[in-house]
Amino acid sequence: MSIAQLAGQPKAKRILQYALTSGKVSHAYLFSGPAGSGRMKMAMAFAKALFCTEAGDDACGHCLECRKFEHGNQPDLHIVEPDGSSIKIDQIRELQRELAYRNIGSDRKIYIMQRAETMTLQAGNSLLKFLEEPGSPIVAMLLTENGQAMLPTIRSRTQLVTFMPLAPQEMLQTLVNEGLPQLPARAAVHLASGLDACRALIQQNGFAEMRNVVIQLGKDSLNRFTAAMMSLQQIMKTELGEQPQLLLSLLMLWYKDMIHFQAGRHESLVFIDQLDWIGKQAYARPAEGWVACLEYTLEAGKRIRAHVSAQLALEQLLIRVQEG
């Protein structure tokens, strides 16, 4: 995977590709952004480009160094992950020993540290000394969900590269291009954080079935109360009933679609296959009425988290939606 092929993050791409073309590669980068924003994939793509012998703004993909990287055979790349709940000083010392050895075939040594904010104080201070006296061919990439959780002295010695949450439309396009089914993907990108989480949700047993259940329950909740209650009772007897929060999250998207339709944002509909039905029902209530449905759904989720029976919370939700 090259930098250009990664979804989103145009600002991060510009910073890293400028470093490659200008030759002004920093000795240390701090990749800061939320889970699912693609920090690790970007770090790996940048590392691949740094090892590439073509010296462009991205990895060429065909030189010897690129092929070695793609096959996981790049000895000058080191990945550091927390040992348990934290990165410990012994891991930093071991990394320093590894980086002290002579390069094997490449001009650089690169290390990528995941969840860098978990470093113990001793590990952070040990790394700090290393950052203060960097070896010229060494490039560090520290990955964190919260740059402010890093030691200020470490932050000041790294170049910050900020990652933003991927937009749903960007994720949807990527997932569809990968061949994943569009209808479940349209829902997944609003429920999961990042592409990997979306893929896992789409491939989860019962997700597509849950989507269909929510369509029927959403329709019945508006004007067929008895049918909705009977459907809910049947759902709670199946494995789908073990995921009430997922059901509620999908139901939120159903009611949001009514607001999107009223606002003319048809391209934003999650349940796009129900466009005709939504078009006939969206104006049955004012926008404030649909907002109230969203609030009822959120309240049901809170009650379940407070250990109220899921079936009871969902039944009360249906009653409130029916009453308007």
Q: Quick one: pLDDT band at residue 271, thresholds 50, 70, 90?
A: very high
Residue 139 confidence (pLDDT): 92
In angstroms, what is the C-alpha Rg of the chain?
A: 25
Chain mean pLDDT for the chain = 91
Residue 142 confidence (pLDDT): 96
- The conformation of residue 107, written as its DSSP 8-state character, comes to S
Whole-model pTM: value is 0.76
Q: Can you give the residue ranges of every domain in the chain?
A: 10-162, 168-203, 207-323
Sheet containing 77-80: give its strands across.
77-80, 109-113, 138-144, 28-32, 159-162
Average pLDDT of the residues in 140-152 = 92
* CA atoms of 29 and 134, how far apart (whole Å): 13
Look at residue 166 and tell me whether its pLDDT is greater than 90.
no
In this predicted model, which residue has the larger pLDDT, 137 or 311?
311
The 10s digit of each residue's pLDDT in 78-105 is 999 999 999 999 999 999 888 877 666 6
How many percent of the chain have pLDDT more than 70? Answer: 97
* CB proximity list for 234: less than 8 A, separation 6 or greater: none
Residue 283 confidence (pLDDT): 94
SS3 169: helix
CATH of 207-323, one of 3.90.550, 1.20.272, 1.10.3470, 3.30.70: 1.20.272
Domain 10-162 indexed as CATH 1.10.287.1080: no
- The count of other CB atoms within 10 Å of the CB of residue 198 is 26
**266 is written with which tokens?**
């048809």
Q: Quick one: pLDDT band at residue 136, thresholds 50, 70, 90?
A: low
Q: Quick one: pLDDT band at residue 132, thresholds 50, 70, 90?
A: confident
CA distances from 59 to 5, 17, 19, 42, 259 (A): 11, 10, 13, 12, 44
**Among 12, 41, 21, CA closest to 112:** 41
Stated as kind and residue range, the H or E segment containing 314 is helix 310-323
Q: Quick one: pLDDT band at residue 205, thresholds 50, 70, 90?
A: confident
Phi, psi dihedrals of residue 140, rounded to the nearest 5° = -105, 140
